[in-house]
Chains A and B, each alone.
Chain A
Amino acid sequence: MLDYVSFLQNLSNGLLIGGVYALIGVGLTLVFGAMKIINFAHGDFVILGMYCAVLLNTLFGWDPYLSLLVAMPLGFLTGVILQRVVLSRLAEAPPESSLLVTLGLALVIGNILLLTFGAEPKSVHVAYASSTLSLGELSLSVILLLAGLATLVVIAGLYAILNHTELGRSMRATADNRLGAELVGINTRWIEAVVFGIGMALAVTAGVVLIPLLFATPTFSGAIFTLKAFVVTVLGGLGNIGAAIAGGLLLGIVEVMGASYLTSEYREAYGLLVFLLVLLLRPEGLFGKTVKRV
Chain B
Amino acid sequence: MKKLLAIAAAAAPWLLVSQTVLADIEVGVINSLSGPFAAFGQRYQAGMTVALEEINNAGGVNGERISLLVQDDRSEAGSALAAVEALNRQDVPLIMGSYASSITGPMAQLMTRQKIPLIVLGSADDSITKPGSPWVFRAKHNSTIVAKTYFDYFDYLRETQDSSLKTIAMLYGNGAWPESLAKEGARLAEERGYEIVGDQSYDQGTSDFRPILNRFRSEDPDLLYIVAYAADGVAIARQLREVNLNAKAVAIDTGAALPSFVDQIGNISEYVATVVSWSKDVQYEGTEDLHERLKAKTGTEPTFYEAEGYLALRVAADALERAKSMERSDVRDALAETDLETPVTQVKFESFDGFQGQNPIRSLVLQIQDGEHVTVFPTDLAAEEVRYPAPPWDER
Give the interface of A toward B (CB within 8 A): 2-3, 5-7, 9-10, 13, 17, 118-121, 123, 125, 129-130, 132, 139, 141, 213-215, 217, 220, 255-261, 263-265, 267-268
Contact = CB atoms under 8 A, between A and B. Distances in A.
A120 B36 contact: yes
Nearest to A122: B231
B234 to A, nearest CB: 9
B387 interface: no
A6 B217 contact: yes
A258 to B, nearest CB: 8
Given A6-B214, A6-B218, A129-B238, 9 more contacts: A6-B215, A9-B214, A132-B242, A141-B239, A217-B36, A256-B211, A257-B211, A259-B211, A267-B202
Contacts of A6: 214-215, 217-218, 243
A265 B215 contact: no
Given A129-B238, A132-B242, A261 B202 contact: no
Nearest to A11: B214
Contact of A259 (B39, B207, B212): B212
Given A6-B215, A10-B214, A120-B38, A215 B207 contact: yes
8 contacts: A6-B214, A10-B214, A13-B211, A17-B208, A119-B75, A130-B239, A265-B201, A267-B202
Interface of B: 34-36, 38-39, 74-75, 174, 200-203, 205-208, 210-212, 214-215, 217-218, 231, 238-239, 241-244, 264-265, 268
Contact of A118 (B34, B205, B210): B34
Contact of B36 (A10, A17, A121, A125): A121
Nearest to A123: B231
Contact of A119 (B35, B174, B208, B211): B35
A9 B34 contact: no
A72 B21 CA distance: 61
A64 B211 CA distance: 25
Contacts of A125: 264
Contacts of B243: 6, 9, 139
B87 to A, nearest CB: 21
Given A141-B210, A214-B207, A264 B36 contact: no
Contacts of B174: 265
Nearest to A8: B214
